[in-house]
Amino acid sequence: MAALFLSIGDLTALAVDALVNAANPTLLSGGGVDGAIHRAAGPALLDACRALPETAPGVRCPPGEARLTPGFALRARVVVHTVGPVWRGGGDGEPGVLAACYRSSLALARQAGARSIAFPAIGCGVYGYPYAEAVHVALAELRAAMDLQIVLCPFDARGAMHYRAAAAALHIALREDRLPS
């Protein structure tokens, strides 16, 4: 059985097979996690994203879905791009869309042969999803994916606190002693 790991810090530095990008629908880079991943992967990532077909004008990945590209200069072999929901108070289907982000990302990572995957807190940046609610949705989805080594990578101690609280509420063990090798 695999494990859930908690690693505070730079998502782009992790040695995992798949790295999840909290992207925008264009997949053409943005701020936050998305911008950091694009900077670390190099310009070839933007070229690969541009090559993905649009599903609607300006949309390469609708919210809740995921797309796959190589990792290029990242330590991760592949990047799974997913688009979280914009928080509108919770009554507009946001939890279902966020859960779909995790399911879609896991499915693509498995298809790519990944045995390890790292996630940021999808939707918690500019999209405004409240951290405590978002990580609860994330952990509820990820606990069923224990065939993979999963690394949860909050940017700071405050984010880690939310993961620990959600894990305790859901009776999920988080490991912080070492990352998967």
Catalytic machinery residues: 34
DSSP string, 83-94: -PPPPSSS-SSH
Say which residue the tokens 């966020």 belong to: 98
Q: Which burial class, exposed, middle or buried, applies to 178 when counting CB atoms under 10 A from its CB (0-12, 13-18, 19+)?
A: exposed
Token representation of residue 63: 């919210």
Q: If we measure between CA atoms, which residue out of 124, 67, 64, 128 comes closest to residue 96?
A: 64
Quickly count: other Cβ atoms within 10 Å of residue 53's Cβ.
6
- CA distances for 112 relative to 115, 133, 173, angstroms: 9, 29, 26
Q: What's at 136, amino acid-wise?
A: H
Say which residue the tokens 């779909």 belong to: 100
Helix, strand, coil % over all residues of the chain, rounded to 5? 35, 15, 45
